[in-house]
Amino acid sequence: MRITELIFRERKNSPCVTWKLRVTRMKKFLENARAFFSAVDDGREKLANEYIIDEKYVISLVERVLESTGMMVFDACVLVREGGDALYLALDGFWAKARREFLTPIPKAAESASAEEPEISRLKNVINWIETGENGGESLLSFFRVIVRHLVNGLGSVGFPSEGVSELVLYSKAGRETLHLMDLDRPSPRGRAKSVSPSDMACRPLGLILLACESVPGAADPPNPSREWFAATDSDHVSLFAKKAASPFLWISGTLSGHSDADFVFALGKDMGREDFPEGFRVERSGAWSFGWIYDVAPEKIEESLSELGKTIFA
Amino acid sequence: MEAKNPLRIMVIDDENIVGNRLKTALSKDGDLVETYVSPREAVKRFSADPFDIVVTDIRMDEMDGIEVMEAVLKRSEKTKVIIITGYATVEAAREALSKGAFDFIAKPFKPGDLRAIIERAAKES
């Protein structure tokens, strides 16, 4: 057997690979969501502040939002394959409309002191199409929420590996919490690791979340955990998944590498309002689910946000 | 205190939105602004009566901004030329700078941003 076959066979057998791919793809989804919302915010800002724009700006805005939407559809379908065809079909519809109405040269209007410039009219129409749709049609923003629902529906089938998983038991004011931990830095975990204590955790994001969970001195050992969590971690990243349905959050991911553009926190929760997310999160609702994230902020903000999430879950 | 002499500013862009908005915004401070969608007409007007500042788009069908700038500077070396670039023509703007443009500004921009460049240009005249 060749060396490369040994390496790739070992990787394929590792549960770490699946989780790394899942988290990487989810992070890509967030990056594309950020690109989408940044483009929309930029368009709104140009309208509000009376910028001088040209036709090329409007065309490039349409292309940017559609390309980032397309990438989000791709990311969502990699994470949750079933039902992806419908998303691609809807995306095709948005592109077709854009080609008909927004990616065409803007006709020059006749000179008039009171007429709105055609570039501004076109930009208003584009923003309207993105945010509210036209004539009862679907908007790109509502399509974003459809994509999120697609993800959420698929997350119900997440399975958790049992190999190479450590266990951490925490006693908080809320109850006993069991964290099943998988170390993503180890490509091939061998067997079941021993229990760990919070001080053993080298992962800063998880460490920050656990700060909110204090041991209650003299507490009796409750027989059943109030909630159970699965955490996939490496030195500067954590993904935390709720194993039980009765949790405020289903999925939290965060990084703290010190690279402001790359660090993010994401949280997916059910029946959560904006006030349930830490300050500064961008929150979008889709049905009963709320999808919140922050990106590109100072490390202190990331730390504060992770601690706040920890308090919501464990305190 | 000595009153500031109004600047004579020429704006050349084949898109009406630029001339319309800049005329309104730049005239507020008392400067005299003329706008042109035809670069040939603008150059003809300039040749007869030079302006202090010329703001010109770089990509126009009839005549490009570099040609406009060369004609302007040939007629009046003191005039400051400011180039407006489109969304992806910053390289062309750099070429304009090497050929004598005072500065450039990329669309989309706010009239106030252009006003700041004009004020710098006026101070250096």
Cβ-Cβ contacts under 8 Å between A and B: the total is: 47
The residue type found at B44 is K
The pLDDT value given to residue A144: 93
**Arithmetic mean of pLDDT over chain B:** 90
With beta carbons under 8 A apart, name residues in chain A contacting B86: 54, 56
* Cβ contacts of A110 on chain B, cutoff 8 Å: none
Overall average pLDDT of the A280-291 stretch: 88
> Which amino acid is present at B70?
E
Task: Evaluate if residue A90 carries a pLDDT over 80.
Answer: yes
Test mutation, A54, A61, A124, chain B, max B CBs within 10 A: A54
The letter for the amino acid at B93 is A
B87 vs A233 pLDDT, higher one: A233
Mean pLDDT of A135-142: 83
* CA A247 – CA A285 distance, rounded (Å): 17
Instruction: Verify whether the Cβ–Cβ distance A52 to B86 is below 8 Å.
Output: no
Q: What pLDDT, on a 0 to 100 scale, did the predictor assign at position A176?
A: 78
Q: Do B18 and A108 touch (CB under 8 A)?
A: no
Residue matched to tokens 């992962």:
A203
> Which is more confident, A17 or A143?
A143
Q: Do B107 and A46 touch (CB under 8 A)?
A: no
- Facing residues of A270 across strands? A289
A8-37 average pLDDT score: 77
Instruction: Please report the pLDDT score of residue A186 as a whole number.
Output: 67
Are A65 and A40 spatial neighbours (Cβ–Cβ below 8 Å)? Answer: yes
Chain A contact set for B108 (CB, 8 A) = 46, 51-54, 57
Residue of B nearest to A107 (CA): B15
Distance from A52 to chain B by nearest Cα, in Å?
A: 5
Q: Which of A57, A108, A117 is the closest to B108 by Cβ? A: A57
3-state secondary structure A81-110: CCCHHHHHHHHHHHHHHHHHHCCCCCCCCC
Closest residue in A to B107 (Cα–Cα):
A53
B107–A54 CB contact, under 8 Å: yes
Cis amide bond preceding A278, omega within 30: no
Give chain A positions within 8 Å (CB) of B88: 56
Considering only alpha carbons, which residue of chain A is nearest residue B113? A51
| Torsion angle of the four alpha carbons A204, A207, A209, A214, in this order, in degrees rounded to the nearest 10 | -160
The chain B residues in contact with chain A (CB within 8 A) are 15-18, 20-22, 86-88, 107-111
Helix H or strand E segment including A209: helix A204-211
* CB contact (8 A) between residue B86 and residue A50: no
- The stretch A101-118 carries a mean pLDDT of 76
Q: Is the pTM above the cut of 0.80? A: yes
Contacts of A54 in chain B (CB under 8 A): 15, 17-18, 86-87, 107-108
Higher pLDDT, A23 or A131: A131
Q: How confident is the model at residue B88 (pLDDT cuts 50, 70, 90)?
A: low
Higher pLDDT, A285 or A216: A285
Q: What is the mean pLDDT of the segment spanning A85-90?
A: 95
Q: Which residue has the tokens 């067997």?
A: A191
For residue A251, pLDDT beyond 70: yes
Tens of pLDDT, residue by residue over A51-68, are 999 888 999 999 999 999
Residue A103 CB burial class (10 angstroms; 0-12, 13-18, ≥19): middle
Residue of B20, B56, B84, B87 to mutate, interface with A, max A Cβ within 10 Å: B87
Task: Tell me the pLDDT band of A122, cut-offs 50, 70 and 90.
Answer: very high
CB contact under 8 A, A53 and B111: no
Residue B16 and residue A111: Cβ atoms within 8 Å?
yes
Which pLDDT does position A178 carry in this prediction?
83
Query: How much is the average pLDDT of A100-108?
Result: 88
Residue B97, beta-bridge partner list? none
Candidates B11, B14, B15, B21: best to mutate against A (most CBs of A within 10 A) is B15
Average pLDDT over residues B50-68: 92
**What is the ipTM for the molecules in this complex?**
0.83
Residues on chain A touching B22 (C-beta within 8 angstroms): 52
- Interface contact flag, A46 B108, Cβ < 8 Å: yes
Q: What is the mean pLDDT of chain A?
A: 82
pLDDT value, residue A135: 66
Query: Given an 8 Å threshold on Cβ–Cβ distance, is A50 in contact with B21?
Result: yes
pLDDT of residue B1: 47
**Closest C-alpha among A199, A184, A306 to residue A234:** A184
- Shortest Cα distance from B98 to chain A (angstroms)? 25
Distance, in Å, from the CA atom of B49 to the CA atom of A278, rounded to the nearest integer, reads 62
- pLDDT class of A72 with cuts at 50, 70, 90: very high
